[in-house]
Amino acid sequence: SQKIEQNSEALNIQEGKTATLTCNYTNYSPAYLQWYRQDPGRGPVFLLLIRENEKEKRKERLKVTFDTTLKQSLFHITASQPADSATYLCARPSGSARQLTFGSGTQLTVLP
């Protein structure tokens, strides 16, 4: 089956450090991957999209990479802050590319 997997283990890091979250996919090659942030009891909020022909995409303190050889996307938050604490979701297109299949998310806690 076409899976998208995120490390379900919660990630705790110290403020100011770089957080790195992983998204792995198997048995297919997505045209792009999307990353979303979700706060408790709220809907996901779109952060970044990276296409299969892009190695890296940046937005302020956020950076996403896409390695089609490793079948993996890495999501980095540099100079992390307690306000970055949330669950981060990776998503791929599916169906006719008009729907998203999400990973289970990684819960990030930035400790002050």
Which residues lie near another protein (CB under 8 A)? 6, 8, 31-32, 34, 36, 41-46, 49, 51, 89, 91, 93-105
Select 51 or 58, whichever has its Cβ closest to another protein.
51
Cα dihedral across residues 34, 38, 44, 48: positive or negative: negative
Q: What is the DSSP letter of 79?
A: S
Select 32 or 78, whichever has its Cβ closest to another protein.
32
State the minimum distance, in angstroms, from the CB of residue 43 to another protein: 3
State the minimum distance, in angstroms, from the CB of residue 99 to another protein: 5
What single string gives the DSSP state of each residue in 9-60? S-EEEETTSPEEEEEEEESS--SEEEEEEE-TTS--EEEEEEETT-SEEEET
Select 30 or 80, whichever has its Cβ closest to another protein.
30
